[in-house]
Amino acid sequence: MKMEHPPVRTLLDVPPEPLSDVVDAVDRNGAAARNAARKQRVRHAFDQADAYDENAFLQKQVARYLGAQITRLGLNDDARILEVGCGTGFLAEAVLNQLRRPDWLMTDIAPAMVNRCRLRFRHERNFRFALLDGENPKLPKREAPFDLVCSNLAAQWFADLPTALERLFAFVKPGGALVVSTLADGSLAEWVEAHSELGYVAGTPYYPGLSTLGAIELQGSQRQLDERRFLDRHANGLTFLRSLRAIGAGTPRDGHRPLCPSEMRKVIRQFEAKGANVTYHVAICTFTRCEP
């Protein structure tokens, strides 16, 4: 049975649009509407991810790694923090012990995720929760600026990463930082190879290379790029696919033609023959706003 949660307060000027309105707009608005429709599918997938915490191996591991990077920034105990794509709160959990009383605004595009964060941190008086489209963030002027804007494994869903980072960086105060983890090229390579070895094409999104990420420049910033690979082991191909769906990460690349059941069974066997493991290539992008 799906857990019912109370509604989430939102900082959005306009609430998330109904799926029917997005689909009807596709032909009128072209690429922008296709992106909106995909975003709605992603939002819906994460809203349905009731078993997220039990299956989010990568998100937990990267949250700890990203949390260690954030700790080294030397934030004040009362730092003002905006988190984009908070999920169920792994990143805040990894950082919270290092800060006594942060003013932490946790946001996500999926209402169910925001609700779960609100329940997890219900005893933290300085935590606030809101719906927010991190790619097109709209916040009341009184909210900015922040000492830290951070995001753990949400940016790979953005259609235009450089523009999204520029918008988020606008909320960072002088001396503050934007710190984002995202998937880079080579992620899920074993799954992609299992397809290509059989002449099929996987629906895995195309992730940017380190050279592309390293070329992103935000005016008034000093940048740093770090990387790390994480190995995710599975008992078999079905458990791998189920884990992706369980965390809401099963949305394929736009335009991908799904395989028929017999083709998918072949891919699964090929994937299992190599060990049923997948590698995630994670990049950490840090942009520090220069002091005036």
Q: Split the chain (292 residues) into runs of 10 and give each run's mean pLDDT.
A: 42 40 47 75 79 90 96 93 96 91 95 94 94 94 95 95 97 97 97 97 94 96 96 96 88 87 97 96 97 83
Alpha-carbon span 88 to 22, nearest angstrom: 26
Closest CA to 118 of 129, 107, 105: 129
Alpha-carbon span 152 to 134, nearest angstrom: 12
Which sign, positive or negative, has the C-alpha torsion 67, 71, 73, 76?
Answer: positive
Alpha-carbon span 68 to 59, nearest angstrom: 14
Alpha-carbon span 193 to 140, nearest angstrom: 46
| CA 287 to each of CA 67, 121, 150, 172, 176: distance values in angstroms, whole numbers, following the listed order | 15, 28, 10, 9, 9
Give the predicted TM-score (pTM) of the model: 0.87
pLDDT score for 29:
55
What φ, ψ does residue 68 adopt, rounded to 5°?
A: -65, -40
Radius of gyration (C-alpha) of the chain in whole angstroms: 19
pLDDT score for 219:
95
pLDDT score for 21:
41
